[in-house]
Structure 1
Amino acid sequence: MKEMTARLTQAAPLTMRLFAATVCVNVLSFASPLFVMLILGQYTNTGFDGTLVTFAVGMVLAMALQVGLKQVRTAMAAAVSEAPDERLAAGVADVLTRARMGALWRVPEALRRSIPAHLDAVRKAYSATSITSVLDAPFCLAFIAAAWWLSPWVGAVALVGTAALLGQGLAATRAQQRTMREAQREDMTLRGMVESAQRGADTVRLFGGGVFVQERCARQGATVRGLNMAVERMRLGGMNAAMTIPVLARVAVYAVGAKEVVVGNLTVAGLIAANILVSRAFMVVAQFVGTGMRLARGRQALRDIRELSRVPLEAGSGTALREFSGRLSLRDVAFAYPGSSAPLFESLTVSLPPGSVAVVHGPSGAGKTTFARLLTGLVVPTRGDVLADGITLRQLAPAWWRAQVVYVPQEPTFVSGTLRENITLMRPDMDDEAVAEVVRLCGLTALVADLPQRLQTPLTRAGRTLSYGIRRRVALARAVTTQGRLVVMDDPFEGLDEDGVHVVSAVLRDCARQGRTIIVCADAPDVLTDAHVRLDLGRKPEPEIVWAASPGRQRTKEQSA
């Protein structure tokens, strides 16, 4: 309830109007029992039709007013949560787009993948329906008090019945919520198994893993089904109890009320009115119990979202140089993943003047991709600094710095959008002529021409519907649009055919002619035959740095051949 109270408090003027509307809606609920008492009391005694018409018109007006107030109240309740829901969604988006990658990796994958569902659970928990049912809940006592005023015995029966319904509902909600959380965890495990089998389809088939996968998925599936069946049994049990308790309570109301009528303590009209009041009290309690389940899910979702929100973010601002020359320095840089027994590298100090060409090489797992990400600011050194024109990356504005880097990752991924939107992600204002030139430069002209929607073709599944080689070319096109002075390519020739190698080599030659600083990460040290400097990350813990005796024009393996 803390979150709901906070939301209501933040919108204090609106909340006051919402409270006033709630009072009016619930006061108008007394119109029905009052109408019954007046009709059965006065009209049946006098038989005057004018009285009947007056009471009927008054009842209709009260109902119409109540319906109108309910609609207004629903709109106000929705407005209470509109801004908090938007802030929460914006905060989550901010974390996912600005979180430090090293910290984000430590967040469980299941939590990251369930964020959209968590946001939906929060919206439902604090929806207009939930807010109005919580505000209506105290008026249950007003309805019981009215029934008590008509007959203390009837009021006592109503009080016991509503207490039983509330207690049963809350207990069932807690039990169901615990089982649902366990079911969700096990279901996420099952989804991971299925996804792993799909991604590793070749492994499953080539190495006879089908039976193993089927057995594991079958066992996990049985666990999930068992938990889901338990949740369903609890839900049905709760529904049955929610229907049975009010019925039994109304039977008791009529039984006790009939005895009161016989002894002269209650009229027949009073008995009917009391039953209407008791029914209204039970309806309010039932709605509150249903809201309790949504609130429980919302609280759990908020806890998970807040756990994600504790991830440290990249700086939102910083220094932006007037111009970046391309000079890059590493000063006593070390990097180690949390929990690892040894650093990937340490004590790395090197300075690359503008226009330098460097090859960072080493076997798989040596840290080449991590080194590339370090230069882009995606990860930060465990010790030391990376400096651009003498300014540490820690002080530079991340957005500005990445606009200075032509970065091609080893495993490129793309956002949900069109091919054109992905290529121009850094420069969305590029005109069609400039985009066409980038497409030509990266050898994508024929591919784009074959696509039914050309550059407007949507990329789905992070671009995995494209072949690996085409993804590399699209990533290259996206990178060169930045026109940065630092070029960082992680294994740029991997997975490319002869034409693809030619395209990448041409881009590298063009960058070298323009005097850009080039850093290429690869397994082999001779991927660029005339590099000015080579860093061997295979040497642990301190990489070996070898400078060329007389740096010449940068050449690729293609040129040497």
Structure 2
Amino acid sequence: MSRSPDMVEHPRPRFAPWLMEPMLRNKGTYMKVALAAAMVNIFGLITSLFTMTVYDRVVPNNAITSLVALSIGLVVVVVFDFLLRILRAYFTDLAGADIDHDIGSRVFRRLVAIRLDQKKGSTGALTGMMRELETLRDFFASATMTALVDVPFIVVTLVFIAILGGPLVWVPLAAIPIVIGAGWLTRPALDRLSAKSMSEGLTKQSVLIETVGALEMVKTSGAARLLGRRWSAANVAHGDSSTRQRLVSTIAITVAASANTLSYAGTVVAGVFLIADHRLTTGALVACSILSGRAVQPLATIASLLSRLSATRASYKQINGMMETGSEEPGAGALRPVRFDGRIELRGIEFRYPGAAEKTLDGLNLVIPAGQRVALLGRIGSGKSTIARLILGLYPPQEGLVMIDGTDIRQYDPWAMRGLIGTALQEPVLLSGSVRENIVLARDGVDDAEMLRVSELSGAHSFMGRIANGYDLRLADRGEGLSGGQRQAISLARALAGKPQIIVFDEPTSAMDQASEAQLIGRLEAELQGRTLVLITHRPALLRLVDRIVVVENGRVVQDGPRDAVLKDLQRPRVAA
């Protein structure tokens, strides 16, 4: 794609807009979290001062009145501390929920719009990747984020220790580099292990989804042994990398916890000598010991945060890789037609599936006038279904143009374009939910009357009308529980709903019996009058619906003409050369 002269290369941002924009929009909420966290830290300093005052002033002088006043003040501080901690958690969760909703919507929209020719990974890997959104949400909505606010207060706490205990400040100061060093040294291993653990987790998820989605085939074909081996291998590999990841993470966290204990104990030991030299009071020692623990504690939280950060970065890289995959999302200037006349043209089409060695279509040219009904015939693998996919814009051709009503379909909003094309492909896939939802698909122009009309046309009403809950029958995944013919009838009703001007059928009756097929053809003959039909089939009976036949072989049109003439020619015996 050529660049316009005014396009300027900008440095790549550290984080992608899909992640940063929701976070920046919630910066006001995070400011409230930061303010609450700051106040909580200040109240922590007040608690240590209370302890010092009691030991140095109240205990030696038996000043009960002062103790009561100090206790009342401490209760007020504790109440405010409690309320601020609740508010801090609430605002963190509030921002996390908003970010989760926004990012989740963006990622799902991109997943639906992903270009099929650039889709990477199996279905299980993609679903596993979507699960990693939870890792991002847990990180940004977790109270651990407040550790970032606590870190600057380490300096404030150290200043307080220096004011109260003088040389005692060197004890927590010595512990801080140990904690930071442990976190820094373990970070590369954590990053590597997190990425490996995620990759192996996606492999395990892929095996699971593949098994559940094809459970009937697994049982009937005896594939359980093969899939069991794959599952065991993926489980062992994932368990090993996860264990090592947790071990490395535990090292950093344990070092931080040990440093916290040593800081407290070291302050007490050093303070005893300072008290013996009359350079420190008992109350100041107690206050400094409390503060020394508070000085190192945020670093222990940061050590925990670093382990989660590695997993979050791995999740971000996976999701961002998908977000940067080619998308069908329309640009601002995309055309959004409200109806089609129905003229289809494929001009000089060359197409090869990703990773395929041979071209599926090679220099194919085909024009279908508006309102004409055409059947595509040919051997298996000749390219018939590929033509249907190109007309629907599911794949872009490497060379040539696919046009509807004289306009390159790449100029159309793909969702608006497909909304005007009725489609029933080889494998009818139904969604979980009611039959009504599967036919209507939340389309504005499809009401109950239209749903019943197309159900009568497709033959779906013949079996849905006899069921007690009828069109509110809840279907399992992919319509399990229905026969292949019933699924095809519902799929045909979905394609015909709204009276689209262009119809694309790919083996629409392959699972139906002859009687049901004959009745369906009789109803469709009147329904399809005046509409453009692209029919791919090996069933001779369906050819009653068309008035033109195009024969495709090796990705090229080898025969094209009126239905009866082509059929007569195809039935003529071939003489060997």
Band the TM-score falls in, shorter-chain normalisation:
0.7 to 0.9
Instruction: List per-residue Cα deviations over 1:324-354 (Å, max 9, x = no partner).
Output: 2222222222222234333211322222223
Give the Cα separation in 2 of the matches to 1:506 and 1:171: 75
Aligned CA RMSD, in angstroms, stands at 3.2
Q: Give the match for residue 100 of structure 1.
A: 115
Contact 1:186 1:220 in 2 (8 A): yes
Offset of residue 269 of structure 1: 0.7
One of 371, 374, 381 as aligned partner of 1:355: 371
Contact 1:361 1:523 in 2 (8 A): yes
One of 118, 123, 131 as aligned partner of 2:132: 118
Instruction: List per-residue Cα deviations over 1:359-408 (Å, max 9, x = no partner).
Output: 11222222222211211222222222222222222223323322321210
One of 78, 84, 99 as aligned partner of 1:63: 78
Q: Is 2:518 the partner of 1:502?
A: yes
Offset of residue 20 of structure 1: 3.6
Q: Which deviates more, 196-205 or 121-130?
A: 196-205
Q: Give the match for residue 310 of structure 1.
A: 324
Instruction: List per-residue Cα deviations over 1:104-141 (Å, max 9, x = no partner).
Output: x2356454222332211111111151331211122122
Q: Give the match for residue 572 of structure 2.
A: none
Give the Cα separation in 1 of the matches to 2:565 and 2:33: 76
Q: Give the match for residue 261 of structure 1.
A: 275
Shift of the 217–76 alpha-carbon distance from structure 1 to 2, 3 Å rule, reads closer
Give the Cα separation in 1 of the matches to 2:310 and 2:523: 56
TM-score, length of structure 2 as denominator length: 0.85
Q: Give the match for residue 370 of structure 1.
A: 386
Contact 2:376 2:534 in 1 (8 A): yes
Q: Give the match for residue 27 of structure 1.
A: 42
Contact 1:9 1:15 in 2 (8 A): no
Give the Cα separation in 2 of the matches to 1:530 and 1:142: 83
Shift of the 186–253 alpha-carbon distance from structure 1 to 2, 3 Å rule, reads same
Instruction: List per-residue Cα deviations over 1:128-156 (Å, max 9, x = no partner).
Output: 51331211122122222322333344221
Contact 1:36 1:273 in 2 (8 A): yes
Offset of residue 503 of structure 1: 4.7
Q: Which deviates more, 473-482 or 319-328?
A: 319-328
Offset of residue 179 of structure 1: 2.4
Contact 1:421 1:428 in 2 (8 A): no
Offset of residue 55 of structure 1: 0.7
Q: Give the match for residue 396 of structure 2.
A: 380
Give the Cα separation in 2 of the matches to 1:96 and 1:451: 36
Contact 1:150 1:274 in 2 (8 A): yes
Q: Give the match for residue 277 of structure 1.
A: 291
Give the Cα separation in 2 of the matches to 1:50 and 1:474: 83
Q: Give the match for residue 344 of structure 1.
A: 360
Shift of the 72–213 alpha-carbon distance from structure 1 to 2, 3 Å rule, reads closer
Q: Is 2:543 the partner of 1:528?
A: yes
Contact 1:408 1:475 in 2 (8 A): yes
Contact 1:319 1:396 in 2 (8 A): yes
Offset of residue 202 of structure 1: 7.0
Shift of the 504–174 alpha-carbon distance from structure 1 to 2, 3 Å rule, reads farther
Instruction: List per-residue Cα deviations over 1:251-282 (Å, max 9, x = no partner).
Output: 22221121221222211111110111112223
Contact 1:416 1:459 in 2 (8 A): yes
Contact 1:345 1:543 in 2 (8 A): no
Shift of the 96–191 alpha-carbon distance from structure 1 to 2, 3 Å rule, reads closer
Instruction: List per-residue Cα deviations over 1:457-508 (Å, max 9, x = no partner).
Output: 3333233453332221111111110311111101112122234423542343
Give the Cα separation in 1 of the matches to 2:545 and 2:81: 83
Q: Is 2:505 the partner of 1:489?
A: yes
* Aligned residues between the structures: 550
Give the Cα separation in 2 of the matches to 1:58 and 1:225: 52
**Identity, % of aligned pairs?**
22
Give the Cα separation in 2 of the matches to 1:470 and 1:202: 18
Offset of residue 166 of structure 1: 3.4
Q: How does 1:77-476 map to 2 (within 5 A)?
A: 77-81=92-96, 83-103=98-118, 105-106=119-120, 109=123, 111-172=125-186, 174-196=188-210, 211-238=225-252, 240-314=254-328, 315=330, 318-321=334-337, 323-425=339-441, 427-428=443-444, 430-449=446-465, 451=467, 453-476=469-492
Q: Which deviates more, 204-213 or 381-390?
A: 204-213
Q: Give the match for residue 43 of structure 1.
A: 58
Q: Which deviates more, 245-254 or 13-22?
A: 13-22
Shift of the 470–238 alpha-carbon distance from structure 1 to 2, 3 Å rule, reads farther
Tell me, what secondary structure is at the counterpart of 1:528? helix
Q: Which deviates more, 258-267 or 13-22?
A: 13-22
Tell me, what secondary structure is at the counterpart of 1:311? coil
Contact 2:459 2:520 in 1 (8 A): no
Q: Which deviates more, 224-233 or 543-552?
A: 543-552
Q: Is 2:523 the partner of 1:540?
A: no
Tell me, what secondary structure is at the counterpart of 2:354? coil
Q: Is 2:89 the partner of 1:74?
A: yes
Give the Cα separation in 2 of the matches to 1:526 and 1:435: 26
Contact 1:407 1:489 in 2 (8 A): yes
Tell me, what secondary structure is at the counterpart of 2:269? helix
Offset of residue 18 of structure 1: 4.4
TM-score, length of structure 1 as denominator length: 0.87
Tell me, what secondary structure is at the counterpart of 2:325? coil
Give the Cα separation in 2 of the matches to 1:453 and 1:162: 68
Tell me, what secondary structure is at the counterpart of 1:266? coil
Tell me, what secondary structure is at the counterpart of 2:400? strand
Q: Give the match for residue 558 of structure 1.
A: none
Task: Give unpaired runs (5+ residues) of structure 1.
Answer: 554-561
Contact 1:530 1:551 in 2 (8 A): no
In structure 2, give the amino acid aligned to 1:393.
Answer: I
Instruction: List per-residue Cα deviations over 1:44-64 (Å, max 9, x = no partner).
Output: 233232211111111111121
Shift of the 289–489 alpha-carbon distance from structure 1 to 2, 3 Å rule, reads same
Give the Cα separation in 1 of the matches to 2:42 and 2:396: 62
Give the Cα separation in 2 of the matches to 1:321 and 1:212: 49
Task: Give unpaired runs (5+ residues) of structure 2.
Answer: 1-12, 568-577
Q: Which deviates more, 179-188 or 281-290?
A: 179-188
Give the Cα separation in 2 of the matches to 1:543 and 1:289: 66
Offset of residue 288 of structure 1: 2.0
Contact 1:361 1:525 in 2 (8 A): no
Shift of the 462–17 alpha-carbon distance from structure 1 to 2, 3 Å rule, reads same
Contact 1:441 1:503 in 2 (8 A): no
Contact 1:329 1:390 in 2 (8 A): yes
Tell me, what secondary structure is at the counterpart of 2:235? helix
Offset of residue 511 of structure 1: 3.1
Contact 2:374 2:550 in 1 (8 A): yes
Offset of residue 200 of structure 1: 5.9
Tell me, what secondary structure is at the counterpart of 2:272? helix
